[in-house]
Chains A and B, each alone.
Chain A
Amino acid sequence: METSSFIHPAIGFLALAAVLPFLRGQWWNWLLPAPAVLAVFAVFTMTPGDHLTLHWLGQTLLLGRVDKLSLVFAQVFAVMSVAGMLYAMHVKDRGQHIAAALYVSGGFGCVFAGDYLTLFVFWELMSIGSTFLVLLNRTRESVLAGFRYFLYHTAGGLLLLAGLLLRYKALGTWEFTAMAPSANAPLYEWLILAGFCVNAAVVPLHAWLPDAYPRGTVTGSVFMCAYTTKTAVYVLARGFAGWEILAAAGTVMAVYGVLYACIENNARRILSYHIVSQVGYMVAGIGVGTAMTLNGAVAHAYAHILYKGLLFMGTGCLLYAAGTAKLDKLGGLAARLPWVMVLYMVAALSISGMPVFNGFISKTMTITGAAEAHRTLVALGLEIAAVGTFISVGIKLPYFAFWGGKPTDNDRVLAPIPWNMYAGMSVLAVLCILQGVAPSILYAYLPFEVEHPYVPWSVWHVLQSLLLLGFSGLAFYLLRKVITPHEGLNLDVDIAYRAVGTGALRFVCRPLAFLDDRWTEAYRTGGLRGLMGIALGSVWFDRQAIDGVVDGSARTVRGIGGLGARTQNGSLQDYLGLAAFFALCVFGLVWYLG
């Protein structure tokens, strides 16, 4: 029987965040991958079970629920953190690293949380960490975006909080378990679902994602693309597997995301809409709820973290080197940034589902599972999304970023890309290829048991993927002039939130501020003077009346003391006499009266 072992992977990151402000010198950058390596080690050595039970204020909290589902997510989080920290090693701004470390530890905490309280704490920690990853970009655009992001996520967190508190009141437990899908689910389950869906960027709650992620720091967005949404996928998989509404929502998300991605201009915004789309696959898989689709959702999450991270790293390199991520401003860079292009294409082909890369072994599982469960519309929607994915991320983005029909741009000044960024990208690229070629290394960790295992490498699957992708590529080629990106902002559902915000400001905040000003005036003229008057009266009373009594009594006591001290007159006979006299008095009185 092996001893149970559990090191919470968040510990290393929390320690890094605590220690980093105090380190001096140049060498601390090398420390950054350490907690990530520790996390990988922890994940691979931990034993399943319930660890780290805390008793706090009369509640039992479970910080270390390790089972197959949490283990697979923790594994990919750990691997991603290594690549992400490597990628971010060159950044001199400690604040970004601290924010990233807190953020990642929040992700780990959520994955291992066995109860809603712990989940909520780490959920909010993630929210704060990621807000700073946006804010620390330090441009006006990013600061405003970060502010909106934080407001929105706080609102989502409040939905979650309301749900979990109502649930505690109804059920009396904080335990985080699966909730059975039903038409009359109680209100708290819907609230919790809503809170989770905010983080999962379910349409129509998704607008924060394309608003904030393109405006984060170069390295921060890499972290953000992996953790917030995938943690949401994990909690949905844990709590809401089989909920019908998720199947519909997921399909909508998948198609909606690629539709917007086709018309966007900013490379990172395209990728952000793609997150919505890909997470849609996962949410649909969770909604359908069979073992194969759930496994598909988990496998897709795993693969997605790897290739999405690589995609953001690639576009991050473009942003870092060229200073912009806008496709209409880029082009003609393939020859000058060849490795960035190659590594980007690895991820692009992965996300599209090209055989040999890991998207192929994960996406198709979900679609097949949905079809086998006779959810034709879901499968159809996901296939449409696959076409759109390849067109926008697989071809459009790299084409216009690296070629764009322009000759090689030798005049543009490119900042040299540090080695660690290439290293981070290479780690992920290798893993993408490795998983694609040997899918069992991923499948071994999938949590749900299927009747017959999914075999991706069959002739038909390869052929179907190649057909689909090949002809989508042909479509792109034919329409390459139509799809050329132009500068512009595409309106999304965030017009609704902004309207709520401006409306609240105009109809609630300003009138209240006006009333508050009037009240303060009244306070100052009327209330304050009255208060001072009372104070003066009290002082007079204290000085004349109370002090008089107290001082008088003190003087009296001292006077009595003076009288008593007269007995000490220095003459020994008097002393002996008085001693005998008083002793006899006391003893006598006690003996005869006592």
Chain B
Amino acid sequence: MNLDLALLVPECAMLLLVAVLFVQALSAGPASVAAHRWLPLGALAVTAAAVVALPAEGMLLWDAYKVDGLSQFFKLCVAGGFCIAVLNATRQPTLEEGKRADYFLFLGVSAWGLMLLASSAELVTLYLALELSSYSLYVLIPLRGRTREGAEAGVKYILFGAAATAISLYGLSYIMAAHQTTYIAALAARDWSWAASPTAVVGLSLFLCGMFYKLALFPFHFWCPDVYQGSSNETAAYVATLPKLGAVVVLVRLAAVLHPGLEITTAIAWLGVLSMTFGNLCALVQKDVKRMLGFSSVAHAGYVTVGLVSGTAEGLAAAAFYALVYVVMNLLCFWVVARVAVDGRNLVLSDLNGLHRRSPVLAFALGVGAFALVGLPPTAGFMGKLFLITAAWNHGYNWLVIALALNSAIAIYYYLSLVRHAYTEPDENTSLPAPDQSAFSLGGAVALAAATLVLGIVPSPLFEKAVQAGMALFG
């Protein structure tokens, strides 16, 4: 059976965290230490475990579970993202006191599921991990005071998710019928052209719908803006970032199957370009900040596909790197949003007016995040897009690369409107209370902004890791 625990260090650490949270959730009383006090340290410990486990390599559980460079890279990203999301969520005005431990418990289970997803080498395992991470999130969305928006968002998320994953399972059955195996390694060796086995192609396309739903790629994105808008700011911070990582890692693994020129790959490319264009166009008219960020997620999902369809190790590394910098940039933006909306409300653009005077540090951090999402140097967003473009050019999808460039230009409008409102619009009377100016808030903003800039100036260490992981997939 091959269960070598030494290879499972990050998962075990995360599971331990979840277990403690579980016990705490069941037995929460006045004597216990509140979850949000010790959890950031715990999350940091899990991140440290993930760092230590970076060089682990091996196959577990009858080859259904693969520990390699790619999975460890993503587990580290998930652990890091979880840590920041937890820090963000320690101050949550819309969450009832008694539900804190439960909230973090489900957050932890979702992150654990994403870690399992990163290492899944077999489609059923993958499906299970996907469901595990999704179900925990379904519970969290409605936890927003006792508002109607939260409940509505939760319902949409569940039903849309259920439909998507059902289609996914249906597709899985077609794949099993066509190729008699669900192991990705074995599937990579099979023929995936429409002419040779249309059943398998249909099956894979349907299976991928589940992944696209998680990634919020057009046309499976419709839940995204509504769910972001409906859930609390801190939950949205998690939902906007980490599940995308999980989806990207699965797509990267499956990209070994997706050679350029195949119909599947072309379909993904078309979905990518539609996603970017549609997402950017819709975001142009949004007033609610989270809704706008939701549509921007749709666009960024499109950008990621550029790397996936290139069929080279650099392309996959670019996609993985872009997913990581996307998580960092988004966590930065959501951090600022959460700190500005101290009473937990949904921010509209006019709520940002005069932020540079009310809190210059937060305004600057928002600026860095906005520029990073646009893709301006010296931020990480620019580096990510640069890697995508250079990896994908001249591999048969040049039109997709051109679309990426054009869409980045369109996106400038709404990202910079964030900066415009923060810096140039006059601060008329708003009912919004003063933003959180504590050391925690400013420190976090500065740290995330610094991380964005550092990744933009010195991307090589991480990118090299990603390239190595990518080459291991092909080699």
Residues of A within 8 A of B413 (CB): 554, 558
Q: Given the known A-B contacts A561-B282, A562-B285, A564-B278, are A579 and B267 also in contact in the complex, defined by CB atoms under 8 Å?
A: no
CA distance A575 to B201 in the complex (A): 25
Q: Tell me if A416 is interfacial: C-beta within 8 Å of chain B.
A: no
Q: Tell me if B150 is interfacial: C-beta within 8 Å of chain A.
A: no
Residues of A within 8 A of B454 (CB): none
Residues of B within 8 A of A591 (CB): 194, 198, 201, 263, 267
Name, among B220, B226, B284, B413, the residue most crowded by chain A CB atoms within 10 Å (CB to CB): B284
Say yes or no: A583 contacts B285, CB within 8 Å.
no
Say yes or no: B194 contacts A565, CB within 8 Å.
no
- Cβ distance B284 to chain A, nearest Cβ, rounded Å: 4
Q: Tell me if B468 is interfacial: C-beta within 8 Å of chain A.
A: no
Residues of B within 8 A of A567 (CB): 222, 282
Q: Given the known A-B contacts A576-B163, A590-B263, A594-B266, are A568 and B282 also in contact in the complex, defined by CB atoms under 8 Å?
A: yes
Say yes or no: A561 contacts B274, CB within 8 Å.
no
**Please, what's the 1-or-0 string for B222-260, where 1 marks a CB less than 8 Å from any CB in chain A?**
110110000000000000000000000000000000000
Say yes or no: A558 contacts B284, CB within 8 Å.
yes
CA distance A50 to B413 in the complex (A): 63
Say yes or no: B285 contacts A575, CB within 8 Å.
no
Residues of A within 8 A of B271 (CB): 586
Q: Given the known A-B contacts A562-B285, A594-B263, are A572 and B159 also in contact in the complex, defined by CB atoms under 8 Å?
A: yes
Say yes or no: B205 contacts A587, CB within 8 Å.
yes
Say yes or no: B410 contacts A557, CB within 8 Å.
yes
CA distance A582 to B270 in the complex (A): 11
Q: Tell me if A415 is interfacial: C-beta within 8 Å of chain B.
A: no
CA distance A587 to B202 in the complex (A): 9
Residues of B within 8 A of A590 (CB): 263, 266-267, 270
Q: Which one of A561, A562, A572, A583 contacts B156 once the chains associate, using CB atoms below 8 Å?
A: A572
- Cβ distance B161 to chain A, nearest Cβ, rounded Å: 11
Q: Tell me if A441 is interfacial: C-beta within 8 Å of chain B.
A: no
Q: Tell me if B281 is interfacial: C-beta within 8 Å of chain A.
A: yes
Q: Tell me if B155 is interfacial: C-beta within 8 Å of chain A.
A: yes
B residues 197-217 with Cβ under 8 Å of A?
198, 201, 205, 209
Nearest B residue to A574 via CB reads B222
Q: Tell me if B219 is interfacial: C-beta within 8 Å of chain A.
A: yes
Say yes or no: A579 contacts B219, CB within 8 Å.
yes
Residues of A within 8 A of B278 (CB): 564
CA distance A280 to B160 in the complex (A): 102
CA distance A67 to B222 in the complex (A): 83
Q: Tell me if B218 is interfacial: C-beta within 8 Å of chain A.
A: yes
Q: Tell me if B283 is interfacial: C-beta within 8 Å of chain A.
A: yes
**Please, what's the 1-or-0 string for A546-585, where 1 marks a CB less than 8 Å from any CB in chain B?**
0000000010011011101101101010011011011100
Say yes or no: B222 contacts A583, CB within 8 Å.
no
CA distance A583 to B263 in the complex (A): 14
Name, among B156, B219, B267, B295, the residue most crowded by chain A CB atoms within 10 Å (CB to CB): B219
Say yes or no: B219 contacts A582, CB within 8 Å.
yes
- Cβ distance A559 to chain B, nearest Cβ, rounded Å: 9
Say yes or no: A578 contacts B222, CB within 8 Å.
yes
Say yes or no: A587 contacts B163, CB within 8 Å.
no
Residues of B within 8 A of A581 (CB): 219
Residues of A within 8 A of B90 (CB): none
Nearest A residue to B283 via CB reads A561
CA distance A576 to B219 in the complex (A): 9
Residues of B within 8 A of A562 (CB): 284-285
Q: Given the known A-B contacts A590-B270, A591-B263, are A578 and B282 also in contact in the complex, defined by CB atoms under 8 Å?
A: no
Residues of A within 8 A of B283 (CB): 561
Nearest A residue to B212 via CB reads A583
- Cβ distance A361 to chain B, nearest Cβ, rounded Å: 66
CA distance A554 to B220 in the complex (A): 27
Residues of A within 8 A of B270 (CB): 586, 589-590
CA distance A464 to B246 in the complex (A): 103
Say yes or no: A561 contacts B284, CB within 8 Å.
yes
Residues of B within 8 A of A583 (CB): 209, 219-220
Residues of A within 8 A of B281 (CB): 557, 560-561, 564-565
Nearest B residue to A566 via CB reads B282
Say yes or no: A575 contacts B263, CB within 8 Å.
no
A residues 481-513 with Cβ under 8 Å of B?
none
Residues of A within 8 A of B282 (CB): 561, 564-565, 567-568
Q: Tell me if B182 is interfacial: C-beta within 8 Å of chain A.
A: no
Q: Tell me if B286 is interfacial: C-beta within 8 Å of chain A.
A: yes
Nearest B residue to A560 via CB reads B281
- Cβ distance A145 to chain B, nearest Cβ, rounded Å: 53
Say yes or no: B219 contacts A587, CB within 8 Å.
no
Residues of B within 8 A of A568 (CB): 222, 225-226, 282
**Please, what's the 1-or-0 string for B276-308, where 1 marks a CB less than 8 Å from any CB in chain A?**
001011111110000000010000000000000
**Please, what's the 1-or-0 string for B360-397, where 1 marks a CB less than 8 Å from any CB in chain A?**
00000000000000000000000000000000000000
A residues 61-90 with Cβ under 8 Å of B?
none
- Cβ distance B307 to chain A, nearest Cβ, rounded Å: 19
Residues of A within 8 A of B267 (CB): 586-587, 590-591, 594
Say yes or no: A582 contacts B218, CB within 8 Å.
yes
Say yes or no: B201 contacts A572, CB within 8 Å.
no
Q: Which one of B160, B218, B284 contacts A575 once the chains associate, using CB atoms below 8 Å?
A: B160
Residues of A within 8 A of B410 (CB): 557
**Please, what's the 1-or-0 string for B388-426, where 1 marks a CB less than 8 Å from any CB in chain A?**
000000000000000000000010010000000000000
Say yes or no: B226 contacts A565, CB within 8 Å.
no
Say yes or no: B156 contacts A575, CB within 8 Å.
yes
- Cβ distance A594 to chain B, nearest Cβ, rounded Å: 5
Q: Given the known A-B contacts A554-B413, A557-B410, A560-B281, are A565 and B220 also in contact in the complex, defined by CB atoms under 8 Å?
A: no
CA distance A567 to B279 in the complex (A): 12
Residues of B within 8 A of A570 (CB): 226
Residues of B within 8 A of A582 (CB): 218-219, 274
CA distance A560 to B277 in the complex (A): 11
Say yes or no: A586 contacts B201, CB within 8 Å.
no
Q: Given the known A-B contacts A583-B209, A586-B271, are A578 and B219 also in contact in the complex, defined by CB atoms under 8 Å?
A: yes
CA distance A150 to B271 in the complex (A): 74
Q: Which one of A565, A578, A587 contacts B285 once the chains associate, using CB atoms below 8 Å?
A: A565
Q: Which one of A554, A557, A579 contacts B222 once the chains associate, using CB atoms below 8 Å?
A: A579
CA distance A567 to B155 in the complex (A): 19
CA distance A583 to B194 in the complex (A): 17
Nearest B residue to A590 via CB reads B267
Residues of A within 8 A of B226 (CB): 568, 570
Q: Which one of A554, A558, A572, A589 contacts B160 once the chains associate, using CB atoms below 8 Å?
A: A572
- Cβ distance A320 to chain B, nearest Cβ, rounded Å: 58
- Cβ distance B138 to chain A, nearest Cβ, rounded Å: 14
Q: Given the known A-B contacts A587-B267, A590-B266, A591-B263, are A576 and B160 also in contact in the complex, defined by CB atoms under 8 Å?
A: yes
Residues of B within 8 A of A576 (CB): 159-160, 163, 222
Q: Which one of B156, B222, B225, B274 contacts A586 once the chains associate, using CB atoms below 8 Å?
A: B274
CA distance A575 to B156 in the complex (A): 9
Q: Given the known A-B contacts A572-B155, A572-B160, A586-B267, are A558 and B285 also in contact in the complex, defined by CB atoms under 8 Å?
A: yes
**Please, what's the 1-or-0 string for B296-324, where 1 marks a CB less than 8 Å from any CB in chain A?**
00000000000000000000000000000
Some 21 contacts from A to B, beta carbons below 8 A apart, are A554-B413, A557-B284, A558-B413, A561-B283, A564-B282, A565-B285, A568-B222, A568-B282, A570-B226, A575-B156, A576-B159, A576-B163, A576-B222, A579-B160, A579-B222, A581-B219, A590-B263, A590-B270, A591-B198, A594-B194, A594-B266
* Given A561-B284, A572-B156, A572-B159; 15 other pairs, CB 8 A cutoff: A557-B410, A558-B284, A558-B413, A561-B282, A565-B282, A568-B222, A568-B282, A570-B226, A575-B222, A576-B159, A578-B219, A579-B160, A579-B222, A583-B209, A589-B270
Interface residues of A (CB under 8 A from B): 554, 557-558, 560-562, 564-565, 567-568, 570, 572, 575-576, 578-579, 581-583, 586-587, 589-591, 594
In the complex, the 8 A-B pairs of residues with the closest C-beta atoms, listed nearest first: A582-B219, A575-B222, A561-B284, A561-B281, A565-B282, A590-B267, A562-B285, A564-B281
Interface residues of B (CB under 8 A from A): 155-156, 159-160, 163, 194, 198, 201, 205, 209, 218-220, 222-223, 225-226, 263, 266-267, 270-271, 274, 278, 280-286, 295, 410, 413
